[in-house]
């Protein structure tokens, strides 16, 4: 089957990809946005409350925010297709994007594939996946009304989702491998003031145990080596993320964590390939930064395709 040809292909339908799509569509660039599953919206859809994205004085959920971004993109007739892209490779002066359902050929590509949740790799994790082990408090939290649960991690996601889980759970243990959180201070303050949240410092999970579902976590204190157990019905893992960059491995420069290296104009080491959002090597991973990078990537892609400054060429 012949590849569907476009000036620009955007891979990923999160905040960075959709923003790039809005800018490219408004510029009437022949663009296709490819997402692995319909209406994914990226990792932000798993966030219950977004309260630091400007323009929304009242908090809204990640899913609501992404629904608005998608509607905005559709208003400008952005073409969105469902295809999981396995590889992006040079073909002449274009790029071939090999997908599970179809292939695409494009002059320029914006990679906005984001990240996926890391797992711990301890015994019991795979066995109880979906039966007491989760990476989505928004999806699974309501199932644990009046039950004790645990969150693993000390970053923004762990601490924020721990507070969200107190809406349902009788108790939320936050198990963190250090004695200091890396979460934003304002998020920490809310969690530390919540009586249902109990921090378990300097501690790692060594095993997840149970019969038909998760019943307990086996723990180890990293400083004393002391072992203990805590009874919980579910554990929510927020131990960081892994970039979805395998599709461009060998094509563009990646940093030591597998994130795509770009310049300030979102150009990667391969001409015509741009990157934006959480899959990019950078300090601050936020919706606010992702949308800015999406806009810049679209601008740069337009320059690359037309051979001149934005609107010129």
Active-site annotation, residues: 136, 139-140
Count CB-CB contacts under 10 A for residue 29.
Answer: 19
Q: Which two tokens stand for residue 129?
A: 């996946």
Supply the minimum distance, in Å, between the C-beta of residue 215 and ligand NAP: 21
Among 11, 120, 217, 273, binds ligand NAP (CB under 6 A): 120
Among 26, 136, 155, 242, binds ligand NAP (CB under 6 A): 155
Residue 158 sits in the site that holds ligand NAP (CB under 6 A): yes
Q: Which stretch binds ligand NAP (CB under 6 A): 55-63, 103-111, 163-171, 232-240?
A: 232-240
Supply the minimum distance, in Å, between the C-beta of residue 115 and ligand NAP: 7
281-310: contacts with ligand NAP (CB under 6 A): 285-286
Rounded Cα–Cα distance for residues 137 and 47 (Å): 8
Report which of 216, 202, 220 is spatially closest to residue 133, judged by C-alpha positions: 216
Supply the minimum distance, in Å, between the C-beta of residue 197 and ligand NAP: 15
Q: Which two tokens stand for residue 70?
A: 């998608």
Report the residue number, 172 or 241, with the smaller CB distance to ligand NAP.
Answer: 241
Supply the minimum distance, in Å, between the C-beta of residue 127 and ligand NAP: 18
Report which of 82, 130, 118, 112 is spatially closest to residue 247, judged by C-alpha positions: 112
* Residue 311: alpha-carbon gap to chain centroid: 32
Q: Tell me, what DSSP letter sits at residue 194?
A: -
> How far apart, in Å, are the Cα atoms of 229 and each of 116, 180, 202, 203, 209?
28, 22, 14, 11, 10
- CB hemisphere CA count around 93 (13 angstroms): 3
Per-residue binding string, ligand NAP, 7-46, x by CB under 6 A, is ----------------------------------------
Residues that bind ligand NAP (CB under 6 A): 52, 120, 152-158, 160, 177-178, 182, 184, 204, 238-241, 285-286
């Amino acid at each position: 089957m012949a590849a569907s040809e476009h000036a620009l292909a955007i891979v990923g339908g999160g905040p960075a990809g959709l923003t790039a799509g809005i800018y490219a569509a408004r510029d009437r660039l022949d663009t296709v946005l490819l997402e692995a599953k319909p209406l994914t919206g990226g990792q932000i859809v798993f966030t219950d409350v977004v309260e630091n994205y400007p323009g929304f004085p009242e908090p809204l959920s990640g899913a609501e925010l992404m629904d608005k971004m998608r509607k905005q993109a559709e208003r400008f007739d952005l073409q969105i297709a469902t295809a999981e892209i396995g590889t992006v490779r040079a073909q002449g002066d274009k790029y071939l994007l090999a997908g599970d359902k179809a292939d695409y050929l494009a002059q320029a590509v914006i990679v906005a594939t984001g990240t996926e949740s890391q797992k711990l790799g301890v015994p019991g994790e795979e066995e109880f996946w979906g039966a007491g082990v989760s990476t989505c408090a928004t999806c699974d939290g309501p199932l644990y009304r009046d039950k004790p649960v645990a969150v693993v991690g000390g970053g923004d996601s762990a601490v924020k989702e721990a507070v969200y889980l107190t809406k349902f759970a009788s108790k939320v243990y936050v198990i963190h491998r250090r004695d200091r959180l890396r979460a934003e201070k304002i998020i920490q303050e809310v969690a530390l003031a919540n009586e249902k949240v109990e921090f378990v410092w300097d501690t790692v999970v060594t095993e997840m145990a149970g019969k038909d579902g998760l019943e307990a976590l086996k723990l180890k204190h990293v400083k004393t080596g002391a072992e203990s157990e805590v009874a919980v019905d579910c554990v929510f893992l927020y131990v960081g993320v892994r970039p979805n960059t395998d599709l461009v491995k060998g094509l563009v420069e990646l940093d030591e964590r597998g994130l795509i290296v770009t310049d300030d104009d979102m150009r990667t080491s391969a001409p015509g390939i741009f990157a934006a959002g959480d899959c990019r090597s950078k300090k601050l991973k936020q919706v606010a930064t992702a949308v800015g990078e999406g806009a810049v990537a679209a601008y740069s892609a337009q320059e690359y395709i037309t051979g001149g400054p934005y609107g010129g060429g």
